[in-house]
Structure 1
Amino acid sequence: MVIVSRFRIEAMDCTAEEQLVRMRLSGLDGVDLVRVDLDSREVAVRHRTDAAAVDSALRSLDLGTTYLGDGGDVEIPADTGRERSALRIALAINAAFFVGELTVGLVSRSMGLVADALDMGADASVYALSLAAVGTSAARKNRLARVSGYLQLGLALLGMVEVIRRLVGDEDLPDVTSMIVVSLLVLAGNIVTLVILRRVRSDDAHFQASWIFTANDIKVNALVILAACGVAWFDSALPDLVAGIVIFGVVANGARRILKLAG
């Protein structure tokens, strides 16, 4: 019997987390179709298995899952090719900003920018995993997820070690102008990415909703900008290092979720 179960995912506030949800459910036997509504943070799953199994799979992501009940139907996507194209564009944007921001961060001596670059790289890896996993076996999906998760976790831990090294050492101040300019550019890239992805689902891009769903990325960008202001105001690298350690923590938590996805 075909059942449509609905769930609310409280912490699903960006497209990268949506892809984690889709990847987790794609490896579950009996799942026919998954529809995600970021506006309401709800997921509708058409399946031929026990709803408890779907609920357990979603809860394993630690995104705050609530089972809303069964009933109704799920519309079949009109054009999956458009979704793949949008994912490729999102991957390209995130990958480009990852390389650019990482380069500027290293040159300008800003751990905040380096950490933010890694956050962009983490998003890019989720999009890449989503594309690479299409039509592949569950085992291969898990292998890809594990590689990505361990790589992100390793880089995040190395970043934290570097922050600690700079805390106890005597380092030059990061370049404030570079921190602010690059953070604003990355913020624009985040918004463009989300608008592109949302246009796949609707011809109208709801910019107010877009701001809500890029909340995490906006907070990260704002943190780097605030850190730059702190560096200029206090004539100290400490605000940048604090921003770096916080963002590296965010990336490490994202890596943990991907590793849980891999099982």
Structure 2
Amino acid sequence: MEKSCCQASGTAPTAHDDPRWRAILWLALLANAAMFALEMVAGLAADSRALQADALDFLGDAANYAISLGVAGLALAWRARAALVKAATMLAFGLWVLSYAVHGLVVGSAPQAQTMGLVGALALAVNLTVALLLFRYRGGDANMRSVWICSRNDAIGNLAVLAAAAGVFGTGRAWPDLLVATLVAGLAIWGSAQVFTQARRELAHG
């Protein structure tokens, strides 16, 4: 079922070596690296766990795009191994963010809704642009699919950050921010499981 709903009809299995796909990855890598720096500074200034978690997600995605560029054009087995590495980093990121959200719940926090909203809107615009550019490549091998899943999860996470900003503004409390940080962690863990499953399947058949 997962394959039928996520694999685009007509997507060429050799699209991983498409120059257009490589160009999109370079654009995504640079955009994610820039957003990591911006969002981390804003997250620390606004005391927002959700923004800081999203910033680290940008950093992880930039690294994943770099890995994808490095193995593009190699044999399927090498691309699948690279996808396993990315699945492990997505899992580690998810677990770290989850623990960080719990820490914020224990020690307390006072996130600034205005900063969360402004930076979250910019992050959403960046991730939606990248996700739309990568949409046609969502049904490729595990390496390509991991790129799509990262971008898709980022856009969903940014919508959640905006919802958290509205929640913090409306309630005057920190729990919406912590809830969204937990959601971002859950998306990373779920995405990791999807990429790991497909990569293992490709290695078994490779």
Confirm or deny: 8 A CA contact 1:153 1:251 kept in the other structure: yes
Tell me whether 97-106 or 174-183 shows the greater mean CA deviation. Answer: 97-106
Is the alpha carbon distance of 1:198 and 1:46 closer, same or farther for their aligned partners in structure 2, counting shifts above 3 Å? closer
Question: Which residue in the other structure is 2:110 paired with?
Answer: 173
Structure 1 residue 42 and structure 2 residue 8: aligned?
Answer: yes
Q: Is the 8 A contact 2:94 2:188 kept in 1?
A: yes
TM-score normalised to the size of structure 2? 0.73
Distance 1:252 1:199 in 2: 24
**Correspondence for 2:102:** 164
TM-score of the pair, normalised by structure 1: 0.59
Q: Structure 2: how far apart are the matches of 1:42 and 1:197?
A: 12
2:109 is paired with a residue of what secondary structure? coil
Aligned counterpart in structure 2 of residue 92 of structure 1, from 27, 30, 45:
30
Measure, in 2, the Cα distance between the counterparts of 1:256 and 1:88: 25
Counterparts of 1:39-188 in structure 2, within 5 Å, are 42-44=8-10, 80-169=18-107, 171-188=108-125
* Runs of 5+ consecutive residues of structure 1 not aligned to the other structure: 1-6, 13-40, 48-75, 201-213
Instruction: Answer yes or no: is the 8 Å Cα contact 1:111–1:244 preserved in 2.
Output: yes
From 189, 205, 209, the counterpart of 2:126: 189
Structure-1 residue corresponding to 2:144: none
- RMSD, aligned α-carbons: 3.2
Q: How many residues align?
A: 185
- Name the CA distance, whole Å, in 2 between partners of 1:126 and 1:191: 17
Of Structure 1 and Structure 2, the greater helix share is in 2
Counterpart check, 1:243 vs 2:174? no
More strand by share: 1
Distance 1:46 1:258, change over 3 A: closer
Task: Specify every segment of 5 or more residues in structure 2 that has no aligned partner in the other structure, as ranges.
Answer: 138-150, 201-206
Counterpart of 1:233 (choices 162, 167, 170) is 170
With a CA cutoff of 8 Å and minimum separation of 6, indicate the structure with the bigger relative contact order.
2
Q: Secondary structure of 1:44's partner?
A: coil
